[in-house]
Amino acid sequence: MTSPRTTLSLVDTDPAELAVDAIVIGVHSQTTEQESGSPAGALLLASGAESIAAAFDGKLTETLALLGATGGPGEVIKLATLGTVTAPVVAAVGLGPEPSGAAPAPETLRRAAGAAVRALAGAARVALALPLPDDADAPAALRAVTEGALLGGYRFAGYKTKPQPARRAPVAEVLVAVPDAADATAQAEVTRAQAVAGAVRTSRDWVNTAPNELRPPSFADAVATAAREAGLGVEVLDEAALAAGGYGGILAVGQGSEAPPRLVKLTYTPEGGGNGKRVALVGKGITFDTGGISIKPAQGMWEMKSDMAGAAAVGAAMLAVAALKPSVAVTGYLPMAENMPSGTSYRPGDVITMYSGKRVEVLNTDAEGRMILADAIARACEDGADYLFETSTLTGGQVIALGKRIAGVMGTPELCERVRVAGDATGEPAWPMPLPDDVRKGMDSDVADISQVNAGMDRAGHMLQGGVFLREFVTDDVAWAHIDIAGPGYHSGEATGYWTKGGTGVPVRTLLHLVDDVAANG
């Protein structure tokens, strides 16, 4: 199921003269009296809105304040223009306090653009006249605005049988006002934003699809079809091929469901071989997680349709890689299974022989993600990789430790730092966490090479237990990072910024930033 897409283009026409349904401007809150003499609490117009303000004879901020505008981040106030400018509506989006001597941070712009475009649902054509710097920071700011606009316009197609009112339709076309619409750098940012946002939207669509319609075979088919259309190499291992190949972890988790497991491998090879480096992306694809025999509580279990958000992110990121064509080889691995309780389910106490040959004692069938990821990680290392980035909605411990917006990252310290930097740049924050020796010691098994969890610690250090287990399946010559997105992979609250309710697409943009980083810097 594909959500409707928003188109994007640049314009350098005076915003006051644009033939659009609404024009978006930025406003700052003011907490202290400025040199201008404006009282504390007054609104400040952000750059880009000068011609709009002139058309209102200098009364624009006063009028917006009367309507309740405060300039708070993400706040959107609409004002009928009554012919003062070409657009019938001005929408003022809050940018927070005016930064001293600098343009707003890219993430502030990204969230503002997303909030404005979402608030203007029902308008067919919207223009953004937000502040863009004219220095070295201009590309990052434009990237943020274009990505935010495209993602703020996202809405899952859904399953409603009655047509929705036209006034609620997502914005169809967004114009971004820039100094020079023909500038090659600016146009390159538009091209990138369309590819990146398109990948995020695809990831969101997969996560938001009802789990009865996206079981492992159909999920594998959807990814494979999209990948072939994008020009990627595709390999799909069904249950027979998984058994023949010795993928014990994937098979164990999937054996409780009538919908058999899959492993999808996607390959991008750059022209001329690229820079000689090889990047592996691995994503957890549990299409629904009941917990298996160690069944989860019923409350909130419906959100477990999002337990394949890691695989959705990797699959979608590979589609963007195919479009952007970085100068580095990238391979994606998407292990897929449905974790169900049945007479054929794997059990606590089972010993599973993994793809790497290691034997794992199962203590909790709800720790299933690490089982399928371990097989995929071992396969990626065997195929050859210099850098391995794995992402998964792995542990509730990530949410307890870092909340719903910040991912946890574990692995090779240097690579974890690169993930942190990439997350800061893309607005998908991640925080490096340790892999303590005492956590690993508690995973020693009396009957196998390693147990699945640290029984002695129970829920203590839960996020770290997942990372420690996965480390066992990474070969010594591969730099790796595990990105736990249990919180940020799915948004259950009200829409905010460029996030809508449901799948977020995290960490698609981080993964693409990392691919670019490796392509440029090795």
- The amino acid at 515: V
Q: Which two tokens stand for residue 274?
A: 């690229």
- The amino acid at 348: P
* Residue 231 near residue 321, CB atoms below 8 Å: no
Residues 6+ apart with CB under 8 A from 350: 252, 361, 362
Question: Of 185, 181, 112, which Cα lies nearest the Cα of 147?
Answer: 112
φ and ψ at 185, to 5 degrees? -65, -40
Q: Which residues are catalytic?
A: 296, 370
Question: Of 364, 349, 516, which Cα lies nearest the Cα of 446?
Answer: 349
Give the Cα separation of 519 and 212 in Å (integer).
Answer: 39
Note the helical H segments in 276-403.
Answer: 309-324, 369-383, 396-402
Q: Which two tokens stand for residue 223?
A: 């990814």
- The amino acid at 50: E
Give the Cα separation of 61 and 92 in Å (integer).
Answer: 9
Note the helical H segments in 67-159.
Answer: 106-119, 138-152
φ and ψ at 168, to 5 degrees? -100, 0
- The amino acid at 410: M
φ and ψ at 276, to 5 degrees? 90, -10
* Residue 280 near residue 380, CB atoms below 8 Å: yes
